[in-house]
């Protein structure tokens, strides 16, 4: 058998190269690429919402919503909704980006909820319950938010986040497709019309679901529609409809895509009547 001799100098050089390569990759992953995509919404979504999420899912054998829940359980105080919001924001800014409405646009959401002071709220798209908690913590006594989530895995995490915040008595979380549930809202929940509708689900569903809400009489004079991500990823057909329809008085709140510097915003549309 022939012995294989490895020169210590060659081995040291190889190890140094591996360490240097790993360090470069870490710096690219942790700082360079995230900084480079900060001002471009499409690149930010590609990097954070596809490449990084899939890589971390594979490496950790957990999902992003599960990692968000762990952050809440580690950092937030049970029964304190603000601490839940703070824990998620900190995680998303410093550990792993996620497509919540975020802290900057969240402040706009807060101001609209406080202005409307709604008794009945419909949220389309729960994800992990971040915006649900933001809304529910500001509702007056006796008010309720019905939040609709298509993905059962997201819904399972959201229930735990909402319970951790102590707001489960103000929230009814429903699993299923918006197009299937909206026609049954009156019968199932006894709701005549919503005071506030927050749209934050599939962007291609904004317009058809708005029209469905109109057809089902779930929007009344004075109802406020607040739509997230109208610039990035974008909802051009919805914006064209609410900005040009005589049924709505619409206003755009310019902001940024959650936890980035890329432009995004919220569209507030007040229903003027049929």
Catalytic site residue 229? yes
Catalytically annotated residue among 103, 200, 209, 264: 200
pLDDT-derived band at 33 (thresholds 50, 70, 90) equals low
pLDDT-derived band at 3 (thresholds 50, 70, 90) equals low
Catalytically annotated residue among 53, 100, 103, 229: 229
CA-to-CA distance for 38 and 41, rounded, in angstroms?
7
Catalytic site residue 200? yes
pLDDT tens sequence across 200-258: 999 999 999 999 999 999 999 999 999 999 999 999 999 999 999 999 999 999 999 99
Considering the entire predicted model, what is its pTM? 0.90
- Over 70: is that where the pLDDT of 20 sits? no
Catalytic site residue 180? no
Catalytic site residue 211? no
User: Which domains, and CATH codes, for the chain?
Assistant: 16-60 (no CATH), 102-271 (3.40.50.150)
- Over 80: is that where the pLDDT of 11 sits? no
Question: What is the reported pLDDT for 18?
Answer: 64
Measuring CA to CA, how many Å separate 199 from each of 53, 75, 148, 260? 23, 28, 10, 20
Catalytic site residue 49? no
Angle between helices 64-75 and 53-60 (to 10 degrees): 70
More confident call, 18 vs 4:
18
Mean local confidence (pLDDT), 8-37: 63
CA-to-CA distance for 79 and 28, rounded, in angstroms?
39
DSSP, collapsed to helix, strand or coil, labels residue 233 as helix
Which pair of tokens denotes residue 131? 């915006």
CA-to-CA distance for 223 and 201, rounded, in angstroms?
19
CA-to-CA distance for 162 and 143, rounded, in angstroms?
16
pLDDT tens sequence across 145-199: 999 999 999 999 999 999 999 999 999 999 999 999 999 999 999 999 999 999 9
Catalytically annotated residue among 203, 209, 264, 267: 203
Catalytically annotated residue among 103, 149, 195, 228: 228
Catalytically annotated residue among 53, 123, 149, 258: 258
């Amino acid at each position: 058998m022939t012995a294989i001799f490895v020169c210590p100098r060659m081995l040291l050089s190889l190890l140094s190269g591996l360490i240097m390569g790993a360090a470069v990759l870490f710096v690219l992953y942790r700082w360079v690429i995230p900084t480079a995509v900060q001002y471009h919404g499409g690149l930010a979504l590609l990097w954070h919402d596809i490449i990084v999420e899939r890589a971390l899912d594979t490496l950790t054998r957990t999902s992003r919503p599960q990692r968000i829940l762990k952050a809440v359980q580690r950092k937030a105080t049970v029964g304190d909704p603000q601490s839940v919001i703070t824990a998620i924001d900190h995680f998303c800014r410093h550990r792993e980006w996620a497509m919540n409405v975020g802290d900057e646009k969240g402040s706009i959401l807060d101001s609209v909820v406080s202005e409307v002071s709604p008794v009945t709220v419909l949220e389309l798209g729960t994800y992990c319950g971040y915006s649900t908690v933001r809304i529910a913590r500001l509702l007056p006594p006796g008010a309720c938010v019905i939040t609709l989530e298509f993905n059962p895995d997201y819904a399972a995490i959201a229930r735990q986040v909402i319970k951790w915040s102590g707001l489960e008595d103000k929230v009814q979380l429903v699993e299923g497709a918006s197009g299937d549930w909206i026609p049954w809202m009156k019968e199932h929940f006894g709701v005549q019309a919503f005071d506030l509708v927050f749209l934050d689900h599939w962007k291609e569903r904004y317009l058809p679901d708005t029209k469905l809400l109109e057809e089902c009489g779930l929007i009344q004079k004075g109802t406020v529609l607040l739509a997230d991500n109208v610039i990035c990823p974008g909802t051009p057909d919805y914006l064209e409809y609410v900005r040009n329809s005589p049924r709505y008085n619409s206003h755009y709140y310019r902001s940024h895509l959650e936890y980035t510097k890329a432009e995004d915003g919220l569209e507030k549309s007040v229903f003027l009547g049929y």
